[in-house]
Amino acid sequence: MSNNDATPAPDPAESPPAVTLTPALQQLLQILIDDSNLSVVEIAARLFKSPGTVRKQIEEIRELLGVSTRAGIVARAWKWNLVRKPGGNTPPAIGKKARKKPKQVE
């Protein structure tokens, strides 16, 4: 078999590796997906963390996903199904039950 018959190596971006995100990174990633226009300072305020911590965590996510921008993080996370998409699969409110209408007494 010659080298011309070899199948090209798959692009690493096409198939997700086993990416493990800590709960803190998952939370940050979901915020980046839901509200990609937020600044680092706004994200930090939401998470009750310092902007420096958020910057470090964004960098960690970039390295884990193999991308160089926040837009790349969002695209790769969607492609690899790492988080729910905005407006989709929103969990129901906890502790709220559907109320039945009271029966009218005649």
Domain locations in the chain as residue ranges? 23-79
Long-range contacts of 59-62 (CB under 8 A, 24+ apart): 60/25, 61/21, 61/25, 61/28, 61/29, 61/32
CATH class of 23-79: mainly alpha
Instruction: Tell me the two tokens of residue 29.
Output: 């990633």
Rg of the chain on CA atoms, in Å: 21
**Which stretches within 3-80 are classed as H helix?**
23-34, 40-47, 51-65, 70-79
pLDDT in tens, 4-39: 555 555 555 566 678 889 999 999 999 999 888 999
What are the pLDDT digits (tens) for 39-77? 999 999 999 999 999 999 999 999 999 999 999 999 999
